[in-house]
Amino acid sequence: QREMKLFLNSVMCRLFGHKYTLKRNITPYLREVKCERCGKEFGMNDETKSVLPLDNELKKLHSVLLNGT
């Protein structure tokens, strides 16, 4: 049943787009978001109007921008 729900949510995202919720702001134009339906995480950049899957490399970059380390 859980697998069916995840599958249906995945189909909904493909048909209608993701339903983003804010996880955290990195800078005034960079943020991390998560889809309420399918659970996928993304990095959004308003300056370049881009949305990228939030992988370990992007998480590390965001950490550097937030903490300076």
Span 27-62, pLDDT tens digits:
999 999 999 999 999 999 999 999 999 999 999 999
Q: Residue 19: its pLDDT value, please?
A: 95
Task: Name the pTM for this structure.
Answer: 0.82
Residue 21 has pLDDT above 70, yes or no: yes
Cα separation, 3 vs 41, in Å, equals 19
Question: Could you tell me the two tokens for 65?
Answer: 């921008």
Confidence band (pLDDT; 50, 70, 90) for 69?
Answer: low
DSSP letter (8 states) at residue 44: E
Q: Residue 12: its pLDDT value, please?
A: 92
Q: Are 32 and 21 in contact (CB under 8 A)?
A: no
